[in-house]
Amino acid sequence: MKEKLFFLLLIGIVSCEDGKQQAYVPDSSGNINNITVVMQKTAWEGNLGKIVRNEIASIYEGLPIDEPRFTLRYLEPEAFTGFGRHGRNVLWFIKDSLNSFQLAQNQFARPQILAQVKGEDQEIMGEYIKENAALLIGTFQENERIEKIRRIGKSRSKDQDFQTKFGVSLAYPTAYKTVKDTTNFLWLEKPVRKGTLNLIAYALPMEQLEGFDLKALTSMRDSIGELYVPGRLPNSHMITEKAYRPYFYTTTLAGQKAYLTKGMWEVKRDFMAGPFVNYILKDTLNKRAFVIEGFAFAPSVAKRDYMFELNSIISTLKLERTEEN
């Protein structure tokens, strides 16, 4: 692109500087993981709309059936006024002789992320989206994670199961109830449409993380499933689905190095399956490996938002030093 890229990352700046002139900012609205896309209809039905769908609404990892990362809600520019501007995440395209891309916070509502793209034509605006797709996805995802945690806070469980057993804190709704509590294993479950959302946690010796890889992760999960996560039928238990290769990353959680795995589980000798997300932390504070996993069982329904909830809950994990240390 020959034009100079005017990239202004204005998170927290626009709203703060304009706060004195802005007497009232309404609450934002919208379902979790929704983005309002504002552009001309011809652009939405043309190449620019295709670029936005391909780059921003890309596939959510680790689900049995492909689902978009975000649900895009199209809005014509003429309708982008009043309540139409209250979306929590907005991607606004404007035809203009001055080419620019900028992010702003709480412009028309609170909380809100507004991404504004200006360009002479669809090609220029499409290039801005391609160049900044990772930034947009990460910013919108973080905005949604914060919103999800805020909503969880309205009905946060006061149970101390995680604190008592493992010396960790975790923010989760009261709908999650303990279904298994053994010496070194905790399992919480929440009923949802046609199934359940589940959180499990356990600790392992730090030595088990030496040379850790995807094969070791699968072996560990399968052995834990055999011990603690039975199926509905006799001699059945949860295992890692062999036909689906999990996503396996190195990341951080609660300030500690961690292994992140997203994949599919199934029940050996039973017809049950679903997605899971697994974190294994190198808990240097307590000289152990700490495992926390979320998995969903919800046949025949979309699972993106279920897994997003589990991921959001896990992101609130905080470690404390146990009495033994």
CATH of the domain at 175: 3.40.1000.10
pLDDT, tens digit, 9 for 90 and up, residues 72-96: 999 999 999 999 999 999 999 999 9
pLDDT > 50? residue 180: yes
The three-class DSSP label of residue 19 is coil
The three-class DSSP label of residue 59 is strand
pLDDT > 60? residue 4: no
In a domain, 2, yes or no: no
**Same-domain check for residues 144 and 191:** no
**Same-domain check for residues 124 and 12:** yes
**Same-domain check for residues 51 and 140:** yes
Assign 3 a pLDDT band (cuts: 50, 70, 90): very low
pLDDT > 60? residue 64: yes
Last residue within a domain, chosen from 128, 150, 172 = 150
What's the mean pLDDT in 110-129? Answer: 97
Predicted local distance difference test score (pLDDT) of residue 322: 65
Which domain, by its residues, includes 277? Answer: 155-319
pLDDT, tens digit, 9 for 90 and up, residues 239-270: 999 889 999 999 999 999 999 999 999 999 99
Mean of the per-residue pLDDT values of the chain: 92
pTM: 0.90
Last residue within a domain, chosen from 98, 119, 150 = 150
Kindly list the distances between the CA atom of residue 120 and the CA atoms of 95, 116, 132, in Å, as whole numbers in the listed order.
6, 14, 18
Strands (E), 224-321: 237-240, 247-253, 256-268, 273-283, 288-297, 318-319
**Same-domain check for residues 129 and 196:** no
114 closest CA partner among 148, 80, 146, 159 = 80
Amino acid present at 263:
G
Predicted local distance difference test score (pLDDT) of residue 19: 44
Rounded (5°) CA angle 281-309-63: 85
**Same-domain check for residues 44 and 121:** yes
Predicted local distance difference test score (pLDDT) of residue 14: 41
Kindly list the distances between the CA atom of residue 288 and the CA atoms of 17, 168, 192, 246, in Å, as whole numbers in the listed order.
47, 13, 33, 24
**Same-domain check for residues 171 and 302:** yes
Domain count within the chain: 2
